[in-house]
Structures are given as C-alpha cells and as structure tokens.
Amino acid sequence: SKTLKIAALAGDGIGPEVMREAIKVLRAVEKKFALTINITEAPVGWAGIDAAGKALPDATLKLCKESDCILFGSVGLPDRDPTIPKEERPERAALLRLRKEFSLFANLRPVKLPKELSHACPLAKERQGTGIDILVVRELTGGMYFGQPKKTEQISAGASKATILRAIDTMVYTTPEIERIAHVAFKTARLRRKKVTSIDKANVLENGVLWRDVVTTVAKEYPDVQLEHMFVDNGAMQLVLKPTQFDVMLCENMFGDILSDEAAALGGSLGMLPSASLGSAGSTGQFGFYEPAGGTAPDIAGKNLANPIAQILSTALMLRYTFNLNDAALAIENAVGKVISDGLRTGDIFSASETNARKVGTTEMGDAIAAAI
Amino acid sequence: SKTLKIAALAGDGIGPEVMREAIKVLRAVEKKFALTINITEAPVGWAGIDAAGKALPDATLKLCKESDCILFGSVGLPDRDPTIPKEERPERAALLRLRKEFSLFANLRPVKLPKELSHACPLAKERQGTGIDILVVRELTGGMYFGQPKKTEQISAGASKATILRAIDTMVYTTPEIERIAHVAFKTARLRRKKVTSIDKANVLENGVLWRDVVTTVAKEYPDVQLEHMFVDNGAMQLVLKPTQFDVMLCENMFGDILSDEAAALGGSLGMLPSASLGSAGSTGQFGFYEPAGGTAPDIAGKNLANPIAQILSTALMLRYTFNLNDAALAIENAVGKVISDGLRTGDIFSASETNARKVGTTEMGDAIAAAI
Ligand SMILES: CC(C)[C@H](C(=O)O)[C@@H](O)C(=O)O
Ligand SMILES: CC(C)[C@H](C(=O)O)[C@@H](O)C(=O)O
C-alpha cells in the first residue's frame, strides 16, 4: 500500500508537545492498520523565524508541497518581538500564507460536547439539551482576510498638522467562491442532521445579500437539506441561548472566525477540538491542513499540562479526509472516547466534582490514547 | 424649567406597544419631578413606508431635527415585501440613515443581569460569579457599515457565460474616529470598574492594527483605567467562558454588533436591555437616540406579551444623557428594580421554578412601573 506523506509543523507554544502525542498515536495506528506513514517535521512560526529567519521557511514550504497534507500545531507568541512588521508575523506569514498557497477554502470546525464533559460546558445543563453537536463550515480564503485594497495610509493632516491615518480592509466575495463553500456545507450536512444555518449580515452588507442569494440557489440542489438564514449578530446570541438548534453553520471567513470560537467555548475545552482546512477534492483524496482549534497557550507551554486531544483528533480528520482511511480515523476517535469515559482528564477538562476522574499530563494522555488504539 | 422635546418613533412589530408603556412611565416621571415633557409621535420603518412611502418620512426626519432626542422603538419586518430595494428597507433607510444623519457615533449597550433573574441567564450559575455587568461601547458610524466602495458588480463571465457577481464592502477607520470612541469608553469606565477591554483583529486587519495603536495612545490620558486588548474571536469565546472579567468592551461597529448581541444573551433577556446612541456633547446635554436592544419580534407583536422594560430603561438613559436629569433616570431604574424584586415577570423572564414570580402582560408591567415611580 502507498506511503502516507505527512508534513508535521509543530510551531510554537504547546505545539511541539501536543504534536509529539499526536505522532505517538499515529504510530500506533500505523502498526494496527499496517500502514506506511512517513512523517517529516519542519519548523514554522517563531520556530521558523528562529531556525531560518522566516515564519514559513522555504524548506518548510517545499516539504509541504511534496507532502499529501500538513499536520499543523499552532503559531504565534503575543509577547515575542512586537517590532517585527505585521506582514512577517507568524499569523500572516505562515498561517494565512499556507491557507492561500494551498487554496484551503473550506475550514471544518466540529464542536461536540461529550456527555461526560457536560460539567466543562459553560452553559446551564438545561441549555445543553441532549448534547451540543455543531459543525462550523467556514470559508477560509476570501472576505476581509485577503481582499484588496488592504492598507493604512496617511491622509491630509488638516490645519492642526496632526498625522491622520486611515486603515482600509476590503471584504470581497464572488459568486463561485460562495458556491463552492456552500456545496461543502450542504454535502457535510447530508452526513449529519441535514440542516444548514447560513450566517450573514444581509441587512447591512452587499456581501451579505450576495451570500444569501447564492446559498439559496445552491440549496435547490439539496432539497433534502433544510436551509435557514440568520444574521450574524443573532447567530452569536442564539449560540448561547439555544445551541442545540444548530447542525451545520455556514459562515464567511471573519464571521466564521468569531462564531467558531464562540461555539468552541461551548464544547467544554478548546483542547478537545480539531479542525480541517481543505482545498478542492483531487482524485486520490484531497490536500488538507489539520490543526487543533486552540492556540499556542504560551502560559502552559512546556509544562506537560496541555490537552493533546485536539491535535490527536486532527490526525483522525487527516486520515479521513486526505487518505480516505475512515476505519483508522474511527479507531482514533474511539480511543479518545474510551480514555474520556475511563475518566482521564487534563487540567482543562478536570472537575473535582467528578467522582471517577483522574488528572493527567500531556504525555500520560497521549500514552493512554495510543494504548487504546 | 425648559420643555423636553422628544420625538417618539415607535416603528414596527412590538415597537408601538412597548413605546406606549414607556410614555406612560415618562408621564409619571413628568408629574413627580414637575417637568414639562413634549412627546411627538411619528411613523418610521414599515409604518413609515405605509404612511408616507418611505422608511424615514420627511416629516419624521424634520421632527427629529426639531427635537432634543429620539426615543426609538424598533424597525424591520423580515417577512414584508422582499422585492423592495435593500437601500429602501427600514434597516438601511431609517436606522442607519438616522445614525449617520445625527452623527451618533457612540453606542452604549449596558448588559446587567439582575440577581433575581439569574435563572434566565443561559450560563451555569458558577460562571455568573457575583453578577454580569458589562457595558459594550460600540462605534456606530464607521467601519463596514458605511465604508465606500460598497457595491455589487458583475465581473467578466468567462467562457461559460455564467453571470458572476462580486460583492464589495469596505471597512474604514481614521485616527480621529477611533480616538473619539476610545474617549467615550475610558470616560464611562471611570464611572464603573475602571477597566476597558478593546476588541480588534490586529493579527489580520489593517484596521485592527490602527485601532490597537490609537486606543493605546488615548489610554495614556486615563492612567487610572486599566486597558486590555483582545482579539474579537477570543472576545466571543471569553464572553461565554468568563463574562465577569469584562467591565467596558470597546468595539468597532461590526464587532460591536456581534459581541453586544452575544453579551445581551447573557443578560437574561433582550427585553430588559436599553441602549443609547450619542453624538458629540453639546453645551446643554447631547442629542441622543434611545432604543431597546431587542428587535421588532413580529411573532409576539400585538399580543400584550412583549417585555416593555428595555424601552422603559431606554427613557432612563435619555433622561440621563440628553437632559442631565440623573434623579429622574434613577427613579425609573429603581422602579424597574422594584417590580422585578416584587416578582412581576413578562413571559421572556418568567420561570415556573421561581416561587414568588407572577406572569404579567406588557401593559400590566408598564402600569406597575409607572405606579412605582
Ligand atoms: C491566528 C488567526 C490569523 C486565525 C484566524 O483569524 O483565522 C485564528 O484565529 C483562526 O481562527 O485560525
Ligand atoms: C438592524 C441592524 C442594521 C442593526 C445593526 O446591525 O446595527 C442592529 O443589528 C443593531 O445592532 O442595532
């Protein structure tokens, strides 16, 4: 069978230590399913700047291009050198650059609160209903993230001679960009509870009106899927008031950034949530970028405190979407489910009120999941 | 003493019935404080379209210009005539138009969960701490709401001859626009717990970088106020995870729209939350626009079910900010506090689990508050 070629970019903060556990679990999967997995690690983010002077070193980018997919940790350390130009900072120079370079337009962010972790959800029990299970489908290569013009300029200073600056960002979407992400939303909804809530701001934005029109048209190809439109401000409110009403939430880039983080807060812990960023489907699976929902968490980095589950579940999405290895993906997801129901908890999901819970560190959690494969 | 001239624009949906109760309460205040209040009502929104063919009839705008302030209900009915051009719909043609016309750049949205309504808050009890008490200060006349270009255009259709549209919205802020709203945030923070959390997306937007720079500079004039910066996605998450960390949240227009609705969800009910939109301070108080946080709620309109408290508390903000009548404002706020602790509840804040609660309608709630003045 073919070799799976994975570029593993751990990045900064807790990135390296959660990546270590994810690779441990991947090796267990490799053995169990008799796969050949070729994992090559390379620096990115501040680690890239330190190693090769760039957040995305040329060698790292080359490796990504030669691989089937990217398993990503996280990048960005708010306290590192504030004088470095914004275009060269890890967020823009590595993360946004990779999204654009590989046309990763479809970002899937599942939020699922395991019933054992109900206590970790900030909502009152009765709001959790029979369980929160939301998939945010976020457009990832358009909108205000990349639209031009995007600049800061000096404008006429007036009589007072004070320097006045004007910042401009541009939100742009075209019909085909909205169509392709809408198809992703409707297709994934078919594998779930068959409901799409499309988020926009059609009462204010030109983009909102176009978004709503195009999504409505695409929906006609999926008569079995229920479509609902919701203004983004109401969406932010409804997520808190009644999250169980949502199945798939379809969002443009910036709204998806905001609402997926809000939804993630309902999932008990960011440390549990994986994500997948996909390009167009090729014939043999698709190139993908897999990363945990949380950030670099510098405050707990290097202390064996981070929850590695988000990174581990990201490898499951990788096996499923890029390599079409659904059994292997399920093996990982089931192993995670098992250790959770066995009561293993990193600090972020631990509650003293749980009688059978046992607090563990990053490596112990990774070991247990690898053992459960 | 001088006559208070108020333009009362009730608008659509539940607007007229909650406005009626607010006026009832204002008349009680007029008597108690020996004021002379001149209230003139005029149509706006679909009511304006029905009465005079425009969401903001000329006569209504003229009345507003001749008044000291606008007491606003709400506008917009999603199910009314979808063929009317978007520029003529109530949201853009009345609400956004009035904001621009009167340069109402500072939108104050207080969210306070009364301890008696803890059950109405969607968060688990332990997340509510000793009480949620947040003031969202939202910039209201800049950003993506008004930035140019703002248009939808047809772009070259390619070989397939399909029509491809491109929508463009522009986010623009200048130094002085950010400065003036930052001053509002720091000044109001001084009257509260002296903390400002400034929301931006400085890791992606040019506007975010400028926003952060300008706010940091303005903060130097308020050394007694603590300033913290937070990315908008993290803000959306932190509001759910730990709302008690926030005092004043300072936001640009679109982020403020989203986060203030999310914060409102934590306040128990939209039906409880007033808002004030202010222009520049003049010598005798300032022109202001006062409206409830909730919308037209067409599903419950005309059924005596709506909670009038948000509209009533909006009149308190009006008395405070436009007329400098703090005692009269407090009288209203205390009267509302009294009927809540007496157990009166409209449907949105009623819970069968409260032993002393009594479910009442819109008019009964208004009567009780007026009586308590
Ligand atoms: C780090 C930042 C650029 C990024 C984004 O805004 O997309 C992050 O918040 C995310 O959601 O992946
Ligand atoms: C109705 C709409 C235009 C408005 C806005 O987006 O500002 C509303 O959501 C609000 O927050 O006042």
> Is pLDDT above 50 for A276?
yes
Looking at the structure, do residues B273 and B258 belong to the same domain, yes or no? no
pLDDT tens string B319-340:
999 999 999 999 999 999 999 9
Adjacent-strand bridge partners of A111: A134
Give the pLDDT of residue B283.
Answer: 45
pLDDT tens string A82-141:
889 989 999 999 999 999 999 999 999 999 998 889 999 999 999 999 889 999 999 999
> Is the CB of B155 inside 8 Å of chain A's CB atoms?
yes
Adjacent-strand bridge partners of A183: none
What's chain B's average pLDDT? 95
Looking at the structure, do residues B143 and B251 belong to the same domain, yes or no? yes
Range of the domain at A39: 1-108+272-373
Give the count of domains, chain A.
1
Give the pLDDT of residue B160.
Answer: 66
> Is pLDDT above 80 for B180?
yes
Question: Is B117 a domain residue?
Answer: no
Provide the percentage of residues in chain B whose pLDDT is more than 90.
Answer: 89
> Is pLDDT above 60 for A371?
yes
Q: Which residues of A are catalytic?
A: 145, 201, 233, 257, 261
Mutation choice for ligand 1 from A105, A150, A257, A290, CB with most ligand atoms inside 8 A: A257
Looking at the structure, do residues B261 and B132 belong to the same domain, yes or no? yes
> Is pLDDT above 90 for B78?
no
Looking at the structure, do residues B224 and B187 belong to the same domain, yes or no? yes
Q: Which of B244, B266, B288 is the last residue of a domain?
A: B266
Q: Which of B225, B249, B266 is the last residue of a domain?
A: B266
> Which is nearest to A289 in space by CA: A149, A147, A100?
A100
What number of CA atoms fall less than 13 Å from residue B314's CA on the CB side?
39
- The residues, ordered by sequence, that sit 6+ positions from A36 with a Cβ below 8 Å of its Cβ are A1, A2, A3, A4, A30
Adjacent-strand bridge partners of B112: B133
Q: Which of B266, B297, B330 is the last residue of a domain?
A: B266
Q: Is the CB of A234 under 6 A from ligand 2?
A: no
Which residue has 């006569």 as its token pair? Answer: B59
Give the pLDDT of residue B268.
Answer: 84
Looking at the structure, do residues B260 and B284 belong to the same domain, yes or no? no
Q: Is the CB of A241 under 6 A from ligand 2?
A: no
Give the pLDDT of residue B158.
Answer: 65
The answer for A 105-134 residues in CB contact with B (under 8 A) is 121-125, 127
Question: Is B199 a domain residue?
Answer: yes
Smallest Cα distance from A263 to chain B, Å: 8
Looking at the structure, do residues B259 and B277 belong to the same domain, yes or no? no
Looking at the structure, do residues B72 and B16 belong to the same domain, yes or no? yes
pTM: 0.96
**What are the residue ranges of helices labelled H in chain B?**
15-32, 46-52, 58-65, 90, 97-101, 175-190, 206-219, 232-241, 253-266, 309-321, 326-341, 362-372
Which residue on chain A is closest to B229 by alpha carbon?
Answer: A78
Least distant ligand from the CA of A200:
2
What is the CA(A201)–ligand 2 centre distance, in A?
A: 9
Ligand 2 atom closest to Cα of B99?
7
Least distant ligand from the CA of B140:
2
- How many angstroms separate the Cα of A318 from the Cα of each of A89, A157, A291? 27, 53, 9
> Is pLDDT above 80 for B29?
yes
Give the pLDDT of residue B347.
Answer: 96
Question: Is B235 a domain residue?
Answer: yes
For ligand 2, atom 3, name the residue with the nearest CA: B91
Chain B residues near residue A205 by CB distance under 8 angstroms: 144, 150, 167, 169
**How far apart are the C-alpha atoms of A40 and B353, rounded to whole Å?**
59
Give the pLDDT of residue A285.
Answer: 66
CATH code for the domain of B227 = 3.40.718.10
Which residue has 């029509």 as its token pair? Answer: B163
Residue B2, SS3 per DSSP: coil
Looking at the structure, do residues B207 and B276 belong to the same domain, yes or no? no
Question: Is B50 a domain residue?
Answer: yes
For ligand 1, atom 1, name the residue with the nearest CA: A91
Give the pLDDT of residue B281.
Answer: 64
Give the pLDDT of residue A162.
Answer: 75
Chain B residues near residue A121 by CB distance under 8 angstroms: 124
Question: Is A187 a domain residue?
Answer: no
Chain B residues near residue A259 by CB distance under 8 angstroms: 236
Looking at the structure, do residues B2 and B100 belong to the same domain, yes or no? yes
**How far apart are the C-alpha atoms of B241 and A121, rounded to whole Å?**
9
Q: Is the CB of A95 under 6 A from ligand 1?
A: yes
> Is pLDDT above 50 for B167?
yes
Q: Beta strand pairing status for B133-139 and B106-112?
A: antiparallel
Residue A316, SS3 per DSSP: helix
Give the pLDDT of residue B311.
Answer: 98
pLDDT tens string A211-265:
999 999 999 999 999 999 999 999 999 999 999 999 999 999 999 999 999 999 9
Smallest Cα distance from B299 to chain A, Å: 16
Smallest Cα distance from A145 to chain B, Å: 6
Question: Is A163 a domain residue?
Answer: no
Q: Which of A345-354, B11-20, B166-175 comes out lowest in average pLDDT?
A: A345-354
Looking at the structure, do residues B262 and B273 belong to the same domain, yes or no? no
Question: Is B356 a domain residue?
Answer: yes
Option in B91, B124, B232 nearest A123 (CB): B124
pLDDT tens string B264-304:
999 988 899 999 999 976 545 689 999 999 899 999 999 99
What is the CA(B343)–ligand 2 centre distance, in A?
A: 31
Give, in degrees to the nearest 5, the angle at Cα B143 between B141 and B146.
60
The answer for A 6-65 residues in CB contact with B (under 8 A) is none
Determine the residue among A92, A168, A215, A270 to mutate to test chain B binding: the one whose Cβ has the most chain B Cβ atoms within 10 Å: A168
Question: Is A155 a domain residue?
Answer: no
Looking at the structure, do residues B44 and B68 belong to the same domain, yes or no? yes
- How many angstroms separate the Cα of B226 from the Cα of each of B40, B190, B194, B247, B365? 43, 10, 6, 10, 39
Looking at the structure, do residues B248 and B347 belong to the same domain, yes or no? no
> Is the CB of B332 inside 8 Å of chain A's CB atoms?
no
Give the pLDDT of residue A283.
Answer: 45
> Is the CB of A167 inside 8 Å of chain B's CB atoms?
yes
Q: At what angle do helices B362-372 and B326-341 cross, to 10 degrees?
A: 120
A79 appears as a binding residue in the annotation:
no
What is the CA(A257)–ligand 1 centre distance, in A?
A: 7
